[in-house]
A and B are shown apart, each in its own frame.
Chain A
Amino acid sequence: MASDLRELYQEVILDHNKKPRNFREMEPFDRKVEGFNPLCGDRLTLFMKIEDGVIKDVTFQGSGCAISTASASMMTEALVGKTFEEAEQMFSEFHDLVTGDPTDEPKVGEHLDKLEIFAGIREFPARVKCATLCWHTAKAALEGGQKSVSTE
């Protein structure tokens, strides 16, 4: 396999695609937002439980490619226990990571931890939205007010 591809489809990503974590509906929930990528038809629904400004639980449902499924799966794990502020920082660090210039060293923000493996997406600009769909959806959930978000 070409090395760029191996960077993109790492074992961890393939594993989360095959066995997505927190892949279920939540009842009751505090927030529920749907995310769409109208270009490809990918959609996901994100559920959140919040207590005192801290994310207590996150789950998701939907259908998408390996990148979007793995990204959502890993995001749900990463967000649990985070404050709104921390989550907000993770969002912008993740965004910087996947949209960075592929010829530079990846910019790995301090909150990203395991999510660092998504750096490989920088080589695949057409796939950046697959990875960020869940994050845009989570951001909308934290901000409240919106029932659905779209990548376009």
Chain B
Amino acid sequence: MTAQSVRAASAMLDGGAFDVERYRADFPILTTQVRGKELVYLDNAASAQKPRQVIDAIAEFDRASYANIHRGVHHLSQVATKAYEGARDKVRAFMNAEQDREIIFVRGTTEAINLVASSYGRANLQAGDEILITHLEHHSNIVPWQILCQQTGAVLKVAPISDEGEIVMDEFKKLVGKKTKIVAVNHVSNALGTINPVDEIIALAHEVGAVALIDGAQSAPHLAIDVRALDADFYAFSSHKIFGPTGVGVLYGKAALLEAMPPYQGGGDMISYVTFEETRYNRIPYKFEAGTPNITGVVGMGAAIDYIQSVGLDAIGAYEHELLEYATERVGAVEGVRLVGTAAKKAGVLSFVIDGVHPHDVGTILDQAGIAIRAGHHCAQPVMDRFGIPATARASFAFYNTKAEIDALVDGIHQIRKVFG
């Protein structure tokens, strides 16, 4: 048993059940009333809520430890720098990276991918080179590569997905070749919840000498990440999806790659000295952290990681699996409901459509019952096109959701069917 699963096991009740009420009590917002009803928050894939431990850590840091980092000789600057760098080490451990300097703080997954596209991409790609993504990507793992293609003459290749919403690996393999320079794939799909075989995908990329970037925005809240076991070259996630604050996220990169890459933005902190004739860049990770970063946000993200580790990702994974199976069965059983995305391995997401009812109307009617879901294309329009639908209704789960909340969702769906008769 790992240290993590020991902690997780100790969080279980005698019967082995996950003590969800205990964790719910950590999230103040879950007691909010919406339109006179108790909030049922099923929009976690868009952004997750924060536990008191994170809210308090942020307030406490701002109250007692805040100053700019890396530049002051004064006491507070040193305290703040220690907290900021301490969070970097928490992230390193969270992803099982080897070194702190492989962890770059960015604004979020979107900026992480843009950083790799601009810095690594422009330095290494030439006309005719290929970038391979899949039909399952979020717009933030599509558009930066399209921009890079426009700038370099590289070509974007897209691996297809099946009717279940899984990457068709036989087709994927055919698209990996000598010209492939970057492979960029999400670990878990935000639109459908599919868990992709990223270990296999990374190995395929490496066979042809390409680098692999994994978009971990939707895996980080649900699965234990091990960048070394995966042998990922780059791995990105966002704090706000792992119960931390917005405006901050992480790019992991292998040290050798990061060292060889040109800076992404210029400014303070990323230099070691500047004259008008010559500027020498700072070492990694600072080379990629130009300007005053989101100091408080980074500290808050560190607190969120502490919190997740205290619950334990093994326990979270097991509980959420049970929750998703229950939701799949109950929602799927309602007449006129079609689930979109039925992969064998899924995490956290239930996307569906109701015959004759547009997802926006689903969202509005559920909202009247205090149930928050997302209705739309989920920043993944190609996925919607693949299934020939404009949008889906998406319920997405966190470990603080309950079966009773899924029952409320099912009641809401019955109500919708009644309205639209």
Contacts and interface: CB of A to CB of B under 8 A. Distances in A.
Partners in one complex: yes
Interface of A: 1-2, 4-5, 8-9, 14, 18, 39-43, 63-67, 69, 124, 126-127, 130
Contacts of A64: 358, 360, 390
B360 A67 contact: yes
Interface stretch (B63-71, B140-148, B258-266, B376-384): B376-384
Interface in B265-320: none
A41 B358 contact: no
Contacts, number: 56
Contacts of A124: 364
A5 B35 CA distance: 12
A65 B415 contact: no
Contact of A65 (B35, B361, B418): B361
Nearest to A9: B419
Interface string B360-404: 110011001000000111000100100000110000000000000
Nearest to B356: A18
Contacts of B375: 40
Given A64-B358, A67-B360, A5 B390 contact: no
A67 B376 contact: no
Given A4-B368, A5-B365, A64-B358, A39 B376 contact: yes
B359 to A, nearest CB: 8
B360 A65 contact: yes
A41 B419 contact: no
B101 to A, nearest CB: 40
26 contacts: A2-B35, A2-B368, A5-B419, A9-B419, A9-B420, A14-B419, A14-B420, A14-B421, A18-B356, A39-B376, A40-B360, A40-B375, A40-B377, A40-B391, A41-B376, A41-B384, A43-B390, A63-B390, A64-B358, A65-B358, A65-B361, A66-B357, A66-B361, A66-B420, A124-B364, A127-B360
A123 to B, nearest CB: 10
Nearest to A40: B376
Contacts of B420: 9, 14, 66
A42 B390 contact: yes
Contacts of A130: 360
Interface in B343-366: 356-361, 364-365
A126 B364 contact: yes
Given A5-B365, A14-B421, A69-B358, 6 more contacts: A5-B364, A5-B419, A9-B419, A40-B360, A42-B390, A66-B358
A146 to B, nearest CB: 23
Contacts of B360: 40, 42, 64-65, 67, 127, 130
A41 B77 CA distance: 47
Nearest to B385: A41
Nearest to A42: B390
Contacts of A5: 364-365, 368, 419
Contacts of B390: 40-43, 63-64
A1 B58 CA distance: 41
A41 B377 contact: yes
Contacts of A9: 361, 365, 419-420
Nearest to B365: A5
A-B complex: 6 closest residue pairs judged by Cβ atoms: A65-B358, A65-B360, A41-B377, A66-B361, A63-B390, A41-B390
Contacts of B419: 1, 5, 9, 14
A65 B377 CA distance: 13
Contacts of A41: 376-377, 381, 384, 390-391
B358 to A, nearest CB: 4
B417 to A, nearest CB: 12
Interface string B123-144: 0000000000000000000000
B372 to A, nearest CB: 12
A127 B415 contact: no
A14 B356 CA distance: 11
A64 B357 CA distance: 10
Contacts of B381: 41
Contacts of A14: 419-421
A8 B419 CA distance: 11
B33 to A, nearest CB: 14
A66 B416 CA distance: 12
B35, B390, B415, B420 interface centre (most CB from chain A within 10 Å): B390
A1 B364 contact: no
A67 B384 CA distance: 21
Nearest to A8: B364
A15 B417 CA distance: 15
